[in-house]
Structure 1
């Protein structure tokens, strides 16, 4: 198989499907309605708005029908934004949409080498309210708890805070400095920041549990847009605390990687001792210029973190057993494996096919 691609085999493929089913049920319970974007669409729509950030990760090919370039989606969020901005433009706002599906990327990442990734997520479109930021974070936490994730950590970020601070200080091209802040590279920051060095060093150190991080941010002399973003972060934390005081909240105000198209409060969903994040999300603007927020969950991380489901109780139903009896067993919750031809020893055959029970002489017999 090509690097980063693999077959989904039993029982892992069924496990992933079960996770998706439970996540979608959690999303629906909060009023999020499911949409199903296509795997591939024209490049100019796929890579517009927030999709522009995924251009380097997108496979491209020529459509033999229209002779136009097409892209194979590397992320579903931009597609949902397009649907809201076009097909659902007249739907009342805010609109709540959910999705699940596969994406394909040109190359993997260090923490996620897979190139084909299962995603499930939600988008809340058409409102700037802080309550919307809090809602998607709370929903993400509740959905992960519902599938069995314990010790969840919500890491809150404001990737636009540092750029706003640098812009207000008159620093035009701040890409290298923002990258240094993201890496927490004090040496690079000192070399490039000049008079802003003490402020940026303090911003780097405003990392950790939400309460202490907010206190550290409050001590910074922020103005204008940077001050407003700090205030929004504080408001979102208060709303989350009021609804879920049990949630572990941390803050990293300089985290920028993976949030290139976001415009406000963002977050990552993590757990101790789990490689990679369960998902990430935050505030952005869709193709029609509407404010939106949402998150994407990664099914590969979930499968690694959650215990494998118990094998189902399988009953071997020998060849010649009335069909009505097998139907009755399935109705009672058993998984039936039908014998397709007569065999010398039904018990041996049942064991060979991974069954735990055998239907024999009108009753269930346990295999030992």
Structure 2
């Protein structure tokens, strides 16, 4: 008996779609990509003018250094991969703030404090969320390292607001919080661990009745803090009237002083106070803030005071701006005029035209009619017989 050879036809799979991208990732096309680059450059120029020097961390780091000082929420958002050279695990940064803090407390530990650093770059996260579905987006920000003061908090907030105003973002508002307040009250009043999550969830939903039901001796105080939420002037009056324990009064004082300074320095900006907001501020140790703009969905940025480094620990304040949320609120400039240069046009003609503000489009095919090429390439003018001639009919 012989063994018959049996062959199997390869499975036929559907052809891959070359333009299909993973969920949460997308291509930035003209003119959006250029618009974003110009906005980022404008923000960085403004930060540099106030003494913030740019750093540029790598996109990927070894996992143990990238996440050394990060909280668990950052770790959960980190893509991990194996470095084929060192055989060590690496992480793709989900946030640049933690990298800047590492640079400040290691490579730049010898620099005098306070240290002002700025950054811009893309981050990648495992998941998006309802308000920010993109998993890759551009962050721009500043970090003020080694200064624990209201003045530092106010400077960082004002720098961000000034930058957004320069871009033309209208209707800016700032929401101030102090995320450490509620956890410290839980500790001071000995709220059982089992109840803390329930109370925290109720506070996040602004459900005062549910929070009070579970908060025991903290009920009245938490109800008062919930009432002290809203436009800054009215909220501060209520907040200062509360009988807070001595241990947390410095937090209230800082929040009040930051709010009063902003009311004075940027009176055109809307200011609200929410002393119990904690979502997204888990690692902050002092005043935190979120930036919004009227008629814009989602946050434009957020920041606050935190501790950078481990030994020694440095009090710091920073802000991160989210360009994907900011761009829709920035007026798009009119496109620059395009000048077609027929094939063979002297190089100096193009240089002179670009110096005068034109975008020059060089013809590459001497056989194609120059005017036909100019219209096809959406040019508004053509160089002809030593002159720039406007095209009456545009493509």
Q: TM-score, normalised by structure 1?
A: 0.97
Conservation of the 8 A alpha-carbon contact between 1:51 and 1:78: no
Q: Match of 1:206?
A: 228
Conservation of the 8 A alpha-carbon contact between 1:265 and 1:282: yes
Q: Match of 1:152?
A: 172
Q: Match of 1:286?
A: 308
Work out whether 1:311 is the aligned partner of 2:335.
yes
Q: Which runs of 5+ in 2 are unaligned?
A: 1-20
For residues 98-146 of structure 1, give each alpha carbon's deviation from its aligned partner in whole angstroms, at most 9, with x where no partner exists.
0000000000011000000100000000011110000001101001001
2:374 to 338, 347, 350: 350
Conservation of the 8 A alpha-carbon contact between 2:189 and 2:217: no
Q: Which runs of 5+ in 1 are unaligned?
A: none
Q: C-alpha displacement at 1:53, in angstroms? A: 3.6
Q: Match of 1:179?
A: 201
Q: Distance in 1 between matches of 2:309 and 2:72?
A: 10
Conservation of the 8 A alpha-carbon contact between 2:170 and 2:329: no
Q: How does 1:10-159 map to 2 (within 5 A)?
A: 10-50=30-70, 52-159=72-179
Conservation of the 8 A alpha-carbon contact between 2:178 and 2:255: yes
Conservation of the 8 A alpha-carbon contact between 1:50 and 1:284: no
Q: C-alpha displacement at 1:232, in angstroms? A: 0.7
Q: Distance in 2 between matches of 1:11 and 1:348?
A: 23
| Larger Rg computed on CA atoms | 2
Q: C-alpha displacement at 1:243, in angstroms? A: 2.2
Q: Distance in 2 between matches of 1:321 and 1:116?
A: 42
Q: Match of 1:364?
A: 388
What is the Cα-based RMSD across aligned positions, in Å? Answer: 1.3
Q: Match of 2:283?
A: 261
Q: C-alpha displacement at 1:316, in angstroms? A: 0.4
Q: Distance in 1 between matches of 2:247 and 2:351?
A: 65
Q: C-alpha displacement at 1:51, in angstroms? A: 5.2
Q: Distance in 1 between matches of 2:246 and 2:37?
A: 47
Conservation of the 8 A alpha-carbon contact between 1:50 and 1:287: no
Larger deviation, residues 118-127 vs 49-58: 49-58
Q: Match of 1:327?
A: 351
Q: TM-score, normalised by structure 2?
A: 0.90
SS in 1 for 2:26: coil
Residues 244/307 of structure 1: CA separation in 2 closer, same or farther (3 Å cut) = closer
SS in 2 for 1:167: helix
Conservation of the 8 A alpha-carbon contact between 2:338 and 2:381: yes
Q: Distance in 1 between matches of 2:320 and 2:69?
A: 17
SS in 2 for 1:264: strand
SS in 1 for 2:286: coil
Residues 51/199 of structure 1: CA separation in 2 closer, same or farther (3 Å cut) = closer
For residues 232-255 of structure 1, give each alpha carbon's deviation from its aligned partner in whole angstroms, at most 9, with x where no partner exists.
111112222332222221111111
Task: Answer 1 or 2: higher relative contact order, Cα 8 Å, separation at least 6.
Answer: 1
Conservation of the 8 A alpha-carbon contact between 2:128 and 2:135: yes
Q: C-alpha displacement at 1:344, in angstroms? A: 4.3
| Residue-pair matches, total | 368
SS in 1 for 2:276: coil
Work out whether 1:227 is the aligned partner of 2:282.
no
SS in 2 for 1:255: coil
Work out whether 1:166 is the aligned partner of 2:186.
yes
